[in-house]
Structure formats: structure tokens, C-alpha cells
Amino acid sequence: MKRRRRNSQRATMSEVAQLADVSPSTVSLYLRRPDEVSSRRAERIQTAIDRLGYLPNTMAGGLASSRSNIIGVIVPTITFSFFAETLETLERNLRAAGYQLLIGNTEFDPSREEELIRSILSWNPSGLVLTGFSHSRKSVSLLAKSDIPIVEMWDYGQEGLDMVVGFSHHTCGRLVAEHLLRNGYRHMAFLSTNFQRDIRARERYHGFRDAIADSGGSVVVRELAGRSNTAEAGKLLCSLVDEHPETQAVFCSNDMVALGAMFECQRQGWSIPGRLAVVGFGNQDFTDSTVPPMTTVEPPRQEIGDHIARLLIDRLKGDDTATRIDLGVRLIVRESG
Amino acid sequence: MKRRRRNSQRATMSEVAQLADVSPSTVSLYLRRPDEVSSRRAERIQTAIDRLGYLPNTMAGGLASSRSNIIGVIVPTITFSFFAETLETLERNLRAAGYQLLIGNTEFDPSREEELIRSILSWNPSGLVLTGFSHSRKSVSLLAKSDIPIVEMWDYGQEGLDMVVGFSHHTCGRLVAEHLLRNGYRHMAFLSTNFQRDIRARERYHGFRDAIADSGGSVVVRELAGRSNTAEAGKLLCSLVDEHPETQAVFCSNDMVALGAMFECQRQGWSIPGRLAVVGFGNQDFTDSTVPPMTTVEPPRQEIGDHIARLLIDRLKGDDTATRIDLGVRLIVRESG
DNA sequence: CCCTTTGATCGTAGCGCTACGATTATAGAA
DNA sequence: TTCTATAATCGTAGCGCTACGATCAAAGGG
């Protein structure tokens, strides 16, 4: 029977085997566990591989072994440096262990998560990493059926589907509130990216608000309309202070928003922290060189990636290790608040 | 013969077929070209799919059709917002057309590119997107053999392996130099991330330097040691001005470096642009709210993604369209220089 | 009513690899 | 030397799907 034409020029394993004068099985074995092949044949096989420029066909291998070296990761966006750094660390660790990352981003649309999960599961991945705890009912049932290790990251506190690596944003909010309260501030504001998009910012706000309420301070909140926008943050801060001139300190949902706030202060001639204390979140690289240096919170961006990789690798080796890790955050006290 | 146990609980296409009382072929056809299946069976098949929670096995499909819906992308890092935005746009467009991105990052180590190319090619991708023109000889021969559409992005001016979408960094450097020269600046500096890592920054420097040399101005260059670091940028600027007090304007290799420069000016009490003009690169969100607003260059971050997606989709449909696109840059003149 | 045409469905043969038992080579013990 | 024990190699049967020609059903023409 006539068949569709062979896929481009790529050599197959059989061709390698033929050239090396061994069976395809031996080539396969050489590729997977080289030390179980005699050095004489190993050498012949390697020569053949080089001669033919042989590249294994990952799909064929994956199908035959009904395993894949894929780990799926779903994040809201890769343009937040937070997630990008976690991804990069995760990728580095996992690649070293022979895994390949398949990245999906929801662009902050929670309904897209399910579609991404489907698409990733159809690759038969070895594991899956999700951001946060909030998943559609359908997604949860897909995941339950899939029977692979799941990690939920960048959050902590809820039960979780399987493994969890992150920190509590609520606690983070409290931490900042307590720091400011300790320094005598009473009237606070929370200046935030949109809560709908950034649900973790809302958690931080809740922690912040609760701690302040506990000690009798006041707190005002303002949300940006769209995506994180430094200029809009400045304007919003301005109108906030206009309406609530008693405000003494503002906790921003991320360092970029805080940067916008600081520039606005400079523009208005408000001294930092004299007139207004400003605290960021993220401890991004630039925060130590603002004027004055920015007080901020350092989330364990890379540590999250490191821990997830370790957890996943252990689990895939069969070990059953710790399944919930709270990495906490570090308050970086500088001069802005 | 005893076989390894079936892969988890996932239903196969045959099971769907059985439940819907049709042949597997019909299910396959329904999934690929639904309108070629009668509505009666289509309905039965869809019901069966839903009942069983069937997810197609992408690897099996890919192997059988010796095609994959994968597009590989190799970037130096995903933590640069430039590349992240291009990736996100590319992903959005390509996903809409049914493709899946496989992202590899070299972490600025050119020698890792080859390894990534191998690893991606082993997935039998439909296309491959690389950053820049610089590839090892081995990589080039791998790519030549692979016979898939290739796009080189974020650069323009050289011949290219296949398609090219980007802009000329050399021209960009000239553009900034000409702008500054026009405004009467004669003694310039280029403050840069490490040239070894960021070879496009070096190209911009060359363009900058050449244009200045043409009109008799002077230019000094300073490179950061490691990765882009705002604080280090400030210190470096300081020592630069110390050694070359005649310096009137500084072009920074990206907005973060420029931010560091601006903060240093503020700290030193140098007026911008009176004592020192500062120009960035990237037109990142925050640049319009610095004090004073930052003059910078806008690279076509998202447009690159859009064009690549279109090119790739057209090519994969068989059309043979334009293969080299120069998107140019836009100088955003604000008040800092 | 039979024959043709068109559209819908199905059966078969792989895609390139891996798992695993079977077979063969090698080395050590008796 | 002969027999085991062990290591190295091989043959076979799929993994779950798609491509494609073959078959079957439905609809129209004479």
C-alpha cells in the first residue's frame, strides 16, 4: 500500500541500528541506559548517530512509553517579573532533570485555565503546576482523573489539590501593616492593581486591612482600572490623598505601582516618608536605588521554582515528600516607609 | 503477552467509538473535520466524548500524522519584559490558530542554543522562532536539515536563515544619537548592560557611536558587569561623570538602566536634562511617569509577535509571503533628553 | 426499478519508538 | 571440559492515533 511520504530527511532509529549493525532495541537501550550496552557497540552506535545526525522522535518515544518528559505550567501572565522568574528557575531545574516545560498563560482570564489544562493534559504530561487555588469545577475533575502530580504555587493557606508551594498573601499584608503601625502610622491606604485580575493583591489587602482594623487604624483602598500602570497609579494616589488628606502611608500592590506613587510624591513635593510612607511588593531590582530607597516585600520568586522542581522530581521518582510548603516573605525595610 | 498497564484512566478514541457505536475512524474524522460527519453521529460522538471525558492523545496524533502543532521559540530570557511581551503576543496569536508554543531560554549562553534546538526539533515542531542571527555552525546545519519554517526575530540587517522579523539596533543607536546631536549635545556616553550577554545593546552602541563620530562628537561607554542592575547603573554613571565631566547626555541600554541613571542624578543633584540628558530603551510602562518623563525608544515588542504569527501561519498554509520585515523603532521624545 | 453519483463510514497499515520476555554471548565454578 | 550465573542483545507486540482507499448508504436519473 502506498503511504504518505516519510517525514523530511530525519533518520530513524532503525537506520542508526542498521548503520551500526545492531538491532534497533540496542540503540534504544543505548539511548536510555548507555551503561547497559557494551562499550564496543556503544561506540559504533554513537558513530552512526553522529554520521546520520540522528535526533530521537520524542512523540514516538512518548507514545510507546506512555510517559512524557513534559511538565505543564499555567500562570496568569509571563510579563510579570514575579512569574517570569519563577518560571525561569523552574525551567532550569527541571530541564537539568530531563523535563521540558509547557507554559500556558491565562492572561488573567480564569475561564481560560480550563482550556489550557485540557490542552496540556492532552500531551500526557508528567506533572502540572498551577498558579493559585482557584479552579473551575470542571478543571478539578479533569485534574483528579489525570492522576499526575499537581503543584499549586504562589499561594498558601487553603487545602490544595495535591502539593502546594507558596506563601500567604494575607499574612504578607498583615506583616506590612504591623510594620507601619509599629512606626506610628495610623491612617493607611492600599493602592492596587485590579483585584479581579490580581486576586493575590486582594488577599494582601485583606491581611493589611484586618491588621489595621485590629489596632484601630483606618485604611482606604484604590484599584487601578486595567493592567498595572505606573502613571495611573500616580493619578490615583493624588486623588486619594485629595479625598483623604489624613493618609500617612500607602502600601502598593507591587513595586511598579509604588514607583508611580513615589514619582507622584516627588511631583507634588511630598516628602517620603515624612508626608507619605510608601511600601512596595516584589523587591524588584530597582527598589534599592529609588530616592529614597524603597521599603518593600520580597516574595520567594525563585525559591518557589526551586522547591516545585524538587518536589516534582522526588514525586516522579516515587518518593512521597512534604506536600505543602510555606516559603513566607521577607520585609525589606529601607527608607521609604 | 502481558503488557504494561494502560495509561491511567484516560479513555481512548476506540472507547469513544464503541460508546457512540461508530468506528474509530469516524471519531477521528469528527474531531478533525466535524462537517464531514453526519449530524446524527456527530451528536452521538460528542455525547460519548463528554460522558467519558475523552481527551485526545496529542502524541499519538502527532506520531501518526508526522506533524505537530508545536512552534518552538528560543529567547535569551523570559524575564526581560521585551521578550516576555513578544512571547505573550506570539502565544496568543498562535494558540488561536491551534498551535502550542514550546519555549526555551538560553539564559544568555549562546552555547545552549544548540542544545535547545535539538531538544525542540526532537518534538517535530511545525516551526521555530529564534532570537537574533548568531547561531553555531552545528545549529545551522540542524536547522537546514529540519526543513521547517524558521523565523529569526528582534534583529534586522543580516541575511537570515529563512524569515526575519525585527528591527536594526544599529539604526536605533543612530536615531538616538541624531536626536541628541540635533539638540546640541556633543559629549555623550553609552551606559549598558553587559555586551556579551546583550549583543543587541552592543549593536545599538555601535550605531550610536558611528553617528556621533560622523559629526565630531565624543562618546564614552561603560558596561555593567553582570545582569541588568539598577543600582550598579547608578554607581557606574557616577564614576563615568567623574572621569568625564564633559559628558552631557547618556543613552542607556534599557529603561531600567536609565531609571538607575535618573535616580543617581537626583541623588547627585544633577538636573535632567540640564546637567545630563538621559535616554532609555524600551518605552516600558513607567517611563512616562518618571521625573522628568523619560525620553526613550519604543521597540515593536508586540508587533514582532503579531508578524511572526502571521508569517508562520501563512507559510504553514502553503502561502509564500514576505520573508524579511523591518519593523523599525519609534523615538519617544519626552523631557529627559 | 436498476444504475450511477455523491456523501458518509469503515478497515487496515503504519507513524517511530519502548517494554519485556526470549535468546545468545561471556565468564566463572566445579 | 561442562554447567550455571550473569551480562548483553534481540524480536515482538503494541502505544493511540491518522491517512487513505475501500465499502456502504442515500439520492437522483433514465
Asked if residue A320 and residue A224 are part of one domain, the reply reads no
Asked if strand D comes closer than 7 Å to B31 Cβ, the answer is: yes
What is the share, in percent, of chain B residues with pLDDT greater than 70? 97
Does pLDDT of B2 surpass 70? no
The per-residue pLDDT for B10 is: 85
| Contact across the interface for B10 and A77, Cβ inside 8 Å | no
Claim to verify: residue B161 and residue B180 sit in the same structural domain:
no
Distance C26 C1' – B149 CA (angstroms):
51
Largest Cα–Cα distance of chain B, in whole Å?
85
Quote the pLDDT of residue A290. 97
Within a domain: A1? no
Confidence class for position B322, pLDDT limits 50, 70, 90: low
What is the distance between the alpha carbons of residues A207 and A179, in angstroms, rounded to a whole number?
13
Taking residues B249-270, report their average pLDDT: 97
Distance of alpha carbon B114 from alpha carbon A323, whole angstroms = 36
Contact B263 A124 (CB under 8 A): no
Same domain for A267 and A243, yes or no, is yes
Classify residue B253: in a domain, yes or no: yes
Smallest Cβ–Cβ distance between A55 and the set B103, B122, B230 belongs to B122
Is A2 domain-assigned?
A: no
Q: Locate the chain B residue with the closest alpha carbon to A142.
A: B53
Q: What is the mean pLDDT of chain A?
A: 93
As a rounded value in angstroms, the CA-to-C1' distance for B10 and D16 is 11
User: Are A86 and A99 contained in the same domain?
Assistant: yes
Contact call for B285 and A62, based on CB within 8 A? no
Provide the number of CB pairs (under 8 Å) joining chain A to chain B. Answer: 147
Let me know if residue A123 belongs to a domain: yes
- B273 closest CA partner among B152, B179, B132: B179
3-state SS string for chain A? CCCCCCCCCCCCHHHHHHHHCCCHHHHHHHHHCHHHCCHHHHHHHHHHHHHHCCCCCHHHHHHHHCCCCEEEEEECCCCCHHHHHHHHHHHHHHHHCCCEEEEEECCCCCHHHHHHHHHHHCCCCCEEEEECCCCCHHHHHHHHHHCCCEEEECCCCCCCCCEEEECCHHHHHHHHHHHHHHCCCCEEEEEECCCCCCHHHHHHHHHHHHHHHHCCCEEEEEECCCCCCHHHHHHHHHHHHHHCCCCCEEEECCHHHHHHHHHHHHHHCCCCCCCCEEECCCCCHHHHHCCCCCEEEECCHHHHHHHHHHHHHHHHHCCCCCCEEECCCEEECCCCC
> Residue B43: pLDDT above 90?
yes
What pLDDT, on a 0 to 100 scale, did the predictor assign at position A10?
85
* Nearest residue, CB atoms, B53 vs list A53, A145, A256: A145
Per-residue pLDDT tens for A210-263? 999 999 999 999 999 977 789 999 999 999 999 999 999 999 999 999 999 999
Q: Is the CB of B31 under 7 A from strand C?
A: no
Total structural domains within chain A = 3
Cβ distance of B53 and A228 shorter than 8 Å: no
Task: Answer whether residue B214 is part of any domain.
Answer: yes
A123-147 mean pLDDT: 94
When mean pLDDT is compared across A24-38, A222-236, B19-33, B271-285, the lowest value belongs to: A222-236
For residue A5, tell me if it sits in a domain. no
pLDDT band at residue B40 under the 50/70/90 scheme: very high
Domain of A276 in residue numbering reads as: 169-298
What's the average model confidence in pLDDT over A288-317?
96
My answer on whether A213 and A161 are in the same domain is no
Closest chain A residue to the Cα of B234, Cα to Cα: A289
B289 and B309 housed in the same domain = no
pLDDT for the residue A6 = 43
Chain B: nearest CA to A210, how far in angstroms? Answer: 31
Mean pLDDT of A300-321: 92
Chain B interface test: which of A58, A119, A288, A291 (most B C-beta within 10 Å): A58
Q: Are A179 and A293 part of one and the same domain?
A: yes
In terms of domains, do B176 and B140 share one? no
Helix (H, G, I), strand (E, B) or coil at B80: coil
Tell me whether residues B100 and A119 touch, CB distance under 8 A. yes
Calpha distance A223→A190 (Å, rounded): 8
Closest B-chain CA to A234: B289
CATH number reported for the structural domain that contains residue A109 in this entry: 3.40.50.2300
Query: Hey, are the CB atoms on A122 and B264 less than 8 Å from each other?
Result: no
Residues of B in contact with A79 (CB under 8 A): 81, 84-85, 88
